[in-house]
Structure 1
Amino acid sequence: MKKSLFLIISLPFLLFACSEKRKSCADLLQGAADTTRIVTVACRYDSSQRYEVYLPGNYTLDKKWPVLLCFDPHADGRLPVKLFSSVAEKFGYIVAGSDNSANGVANIEYVVRTFYEDVTSRYSIDSTRIYAAGFSGGGRIAASLALSWSHIRGVISCSAGLPGFQPASGARAFAITALAGDGDFNYSEVESLPEQLKGTKFNVYTSIFHGTHAWPSREQLSLALLFLHIKAMQEGIVATDRQIISCLKNSLLDSVGYYHQRKNIADEFAWAERGASLLAGYKEANTFRKRVKKISSTPEFRKFLSEKEQVLRMEEMLRMEYQKAFTEKDTSWWRNEADVLRTRLTESSDGLKKAMHERLLAYLSIMAYTYTNRSIQAGNLEAARHFVSIYGIIDPQNPDYLKFRKQLAEEKYIAR
C-alpha cells in the first residue's frame, strides 16, 4: 500500500489545545517572542538587497546560533519571520526573511547568495545548523539550496515538494519538512514526498492540513521546525531533551485518541503517522507504528483510500479538460464554470470532494496567472487581456491579478 501522510488539522492546534497536559506542551514549545524586535537590514555590499531578521532575546556574540533563512514568493520577508518567531525564541534560532527573493526575479541566484552571505557574516551563526524555509516558489528555492549547497542542513518547504527529483546514488541527504493545505493545487506533490524519497537517507516529515495555497499557521510551522530540531538532537548536534520527546508523544497519543473516539479513521491514521514520523529514531515511535499498521488493515480505512483515489482521478481528468478550455472557451463559459465550482465547494458535505473543488479553483488561478504572464512576455496583449479577464473571474482578489489588470491598463500597453 502506498504510504500516505494525510494529516488533517481539523481543530486549531488540537495537539496542544485541549487539556492541561497539552497546554504545558504548548508552553514547552512556544516562546514569548517580541515581534517588535524584527528589524529590516540592508546588505553590506548591496543596500538594495534587504531582509527582515529576528534575534532571540538572549542573543549574544559569545555563542553560535542556528539560523533559518526564509523565502516568500512575493518578497515579504517579514511574514515568515513573524510566523516562526515564537518557536525560534523558545529554541534559540535566528530567523531571517529575504525582501528581494520572489517568483519571477531574473537575478534570483544573486539575490539568494547576497542574502545568505550577509546573514551568515553579520551574525554569530553555527555553520552546522543552517536551515532554509519557503512557501510555494520560495519553498522550491529553499529545497534547491539544500540540494546544491552542502551547508544547508534541513528544509521546511510549504506548498512545494520535489517534483521530478530522483536522488542519485551517493547524493547528500538532509532533513525535509513539507506542508500543504488539502485545498492547495500542489497538495499531491507534498503528500507523495515520503513515497518519492522512500529507501533514501532523507529524513522526511509531511503535513497536510485543512487550508489552501498559503503559508501554514504559526503552530504548524512550529512543529515543522521542531522536526528539524529533533533531527539535530538525534545527530548529537544539540543535547537531547527527553521532556520534549515525552511531551510530544503524550500529546500525539491524545490526538490519535480524540479522532478514534469520534470514529474519524482518516484523521486518526494521520495523527498516528505523524507520531511515527516526528519521533522516528526514538523508541516512542513504535507505539505509533503499531497504530498505523492496525488502522491500515481495517475495511474502513481501505474504503477511505479507495474513495480518495477516485477523487484524485476525477481531479486529474478535470484539470486536463480545463487546460483545453483556457484556449477554447469564452469568459461567459468561465463565469458559469467558476460559479459551479464555488457552489459545489460551499455545499459539499464530502470532505474529499470539498478539498478537490478548492484545489481546482487554486489550479485555475495559477493557470490564469501563467497564461496571462506568458502572453504579456510574448507581447500578445489581446490574449493577455482575455486571460486576465478569466483570472478576474476565478480569483478576483489575487494580488497578481490586480497587478496584471493595472499593468494592462497602462498607456504603454494600450498603445502597443
Structure 2
Amino acid sequence: MPTLNAQSGIAIKPGSALLFVCLCIAPLLAGVAFAGADLAADSLRLEATPGQLIGEQEAARLGHILDPGEPLSWEVYLPVNDSEDTPGVLVYVSPRAEGKIDPRWKSVMDSHNLIYIAANDSGNKIPTVKRMLMATMAIRALAQNHAFTIKRIYVSGFSGGGRVASRLASHYPKVFTGAIYICGVDFWKEKQTPSVDHLLRNRFVFLTGSKDFNRSETSRIYRKYLKAGATQSKLMVIPGMRHQLPDDAELAEALRFLDGAEQ
C-alpha cells in the first residue's frame, strides 16, 4: 500500500477548538474541486501531522486535543470507473482503531464515484472532539493529493462512529450535504448547531437492522429529525441485520437517496 505525506496547509484564523473544525475546511469552499497528484493505486494511506495540515501556530492552539506533531493517518479508497466527473467524498468514522474500507463497499464507491476516507486510531475509545477533528482533517489532507467536488461530501459512521458522524453533520451542514447513520446516531443540540436552517436542507439516512439493539433509538431519532423539519430523511431497517455494517446493495440504496436519485 503506497503512503503519501501531505504537505503544509495554509494558516487558519484563530478560533475556538470546535470552530476550528469548520475553519479547517473553509479554504475548500472557494472552488468546486481541488486537483492534486495523480494517484495510480485505488487504495492508499495519507499521513500528516496537525502542524503540517493547518500550520504549527494554529496546531499549537489545539494542543490540548491533538499534539501538533502527532502523526495522523487516513485510509483512502479511490473509485475505479470510467467516469469523467470529479468524484465526491464519503468521510467514514469507524468505531474501531482501523479505518480500512469494508471490501464489500469498494464496488459501491466505484459505481457512485465516491472517494472513501477514514481516520486510523479514531475508534470509540478516542474523545469525540478529537475524532471530529481527525474526520475533518481528512478532507484537508485529501485535497492536497486528489481532486474531488465540494458539492458532494457525505459523512457516515457505524455505531459510536455513527454518533460522531451525526455531530459532524449537524455542526457543519454547509460542508456535509448528506449523512448515513449506521446503527448509531445522536440528535443535534441547537446551541451547538450553527445553522439549523441549512441542516434541514440536507439529506439523511438512518440505517439499522431488525435485530440491531440500537434499532429503537435510531428510529426514535429519525422521527425527531422529521418533526424538526428534516423531511429529506430516510429510515432503512434491514431485515435480519444485527448491529453490523450493511452490505453493498444496502449502502448503494442509502447513497442513491443522498444523491437524490431515490426517495
TM-score, with structure 2 as normaliser: 0.65
Superimposed CA distance per residue, residues 73-92 of structure 1 (whole angstroms, 9 cap, x where no aligned partner): 01221134x33211211121
Structure (1 or 2) with the larger CA radius of gyration = 1
Q: Distance in 2 between matches of 1:101 and 1:159?
A: 18
Moved over 6 A (4+): 166-169
Q: Which residues in structure 2 correspond to 1:92-103 (within 5 Å)?
A: 92-103=113-124
Q: Which residues in structure 2 correspond to 1:319-398 (within 5 Å)?
A: none
Q: CA deviation at 1:132?
A: 0.6
Structure 2 residue aligned with 1:191: 219
Q: 1:202 to 1:72 in 2, by over 3 A?
A: same
The alignment partner of 1:128 has SS state of coil
Structure 2 residue aligned with 1:19: none
Q: Tell me if the contact between 2:166 and 2:187 (Cα under 8 Å) persists in the aligned partners.
A: no
Q: Distance in 2 between matches of 1:90 and 1:63?
A: 12
Q: Distance in 1 between matches of 2:203 and 2:148?
A: 19
Superimposed CA distance per residue, residues 113-170 of structure 1 (whole angstroms, 9 cap, x where no aligned partner): 3223212332212111110111011111111111111211000110013347579963
Q: 1:37 to 1:121 in 2, by over 3 A?
A: closer
Pair 1:212 & 2:235 matched: no
Which of the numbers 93, 102, 112 marks the counterpart of 1:91?
A: 112
Identity %: 23
Structure 2 residue aligned with 1:67: 89
Q: Tell me if the contact between 1:83 and 1:221 (Cα under 8 Å) persists in the aligned partners.
A: no
Which of the numbers 222, 226, 243 marks the counterpart of 2:256?
A: 226
Structure that is richer in strand per residue: 2
Structure that is richer in helix per residue: 1
Q: Tell me if the contact between 1:55 and 1:93 (Cα under 8 Å) persists in the aligned partners.
A: yes
Structure 2 residue aligned with 1:172: 199
RMSD: 2.7
Q: Tell me if the contact between 2:210 and 2:237 (Cα under 8 Å) persists in the aligned partners.
A: yes
Q: CA deviation at 1:47?
A: 7.2
Q: 1:50 to 1:219 in 2, by over 3 A?
A: same
Q: Tell me if the contact between 2:46 and 2:141 (Cα under 8 Å) persists in the aligned partners.
A: no
Q: Distance in 2 between matches of 1:169 and 1:103?
A: 27
The alignment partner of 2:212 has SS state of coil
Deviates more, 1:51-60 or 1:179-188: 51-60
Pair 1:142 & 2:180 matched: no
Q: Tell me if the contact between 1:67 and 1:125 (Cα under 8 Å) persists in the aligned partners.
A: yes
Q: Distance in 1 between matches of 2:151 and 2:97?
A: 26
Q: 1:159 to 1:214 in 2, by over 3 A?
A: same
Q: Distance in 1 between matches of 2:187 and 2:171?
A: 16
Deviates more, 1:206-215 or 1:50-59: 50-59
Q: CA deviation at 1:110?
A: 3.3
